[in-house]
Chains A and B, each alone.
Chain A
Amino acid sequence: MVTQSDTETVQVEIFPFRILTPETAQRLLSEIYRNGGIIRIMIQGPNMPRFVTYGPAKGMPIDANNQGLMELGDQAFELKVKVGRVRLELESEKYLDGVRAACERALPFTFQIKKGKFFHDRMTVTDYAKYGKDVEDRRILGLIDPKAKKDKLAILSEKEVTTDNEER
Chain B
Amino acid sequence: MAYTAQFYPGSTSVGINRRKQMSGNLEKLRDIPEADIVAILGHRTPGADYSSTHPPLKEMGEPDCPIRQIVAPTPGAAAGDRVRYNQFADSMYFAPSTPYWRSYWAAINCRGCDPGTLSGRQIIEARERDLDALTKVQMDSEVTDMALCSMRGCTVHGHSLRLEENGMMFDMLSRTEMGKDGNIYYVKDQVGIPLDKKINVGKPMSEAEAKKRTTIFRFDGVAIGGKVGARKYDEAVEALHHMWTLRTQWGYRPE
The interface of chain A, by Cβ under 8 A from chain B, is 16-21, 24, 46-49, 52-57, 60, 62-65, 82, 84, 108-109
Contact = CB atoms under 8 A, between A and B. Distances in A.
Nearest to B189: A57
Point out which of A17, A52, A55, A57 has the most chain B C-beta atoms below 10 A from its C-beta: A57
Interface in B86-103: none
B193 A46 contact: no
B167 to A, nearest CB: 8
Chain A to chain B: the 7 pairs with minimum beta-carbon distance, closest first = A64-B174, A55-B154, A57-B192, A57-B193, A56-B191, A52-B192, A18-B165
Report whether over half of chain A's contact residues are helix, strand or loop; otherwise say mixed.
loop
Nearest to A47: B172
A49 B170 contact: no
A18 B164 CA distance: 5
A65 B165 CA distance: 15
Contacts of A21: 164-165
Majority secondary structure of chain B interface residues (helix, strand, loop or mixed): loop
B212 interface: no
A17 B154 contact: no
A23 to B, nearest CB: 9
B194 interface: yes
A51 to B, nearest CB: 10
A82 B191 contact: no
A19 B162 contact: yes
B191 A57 contact: yes
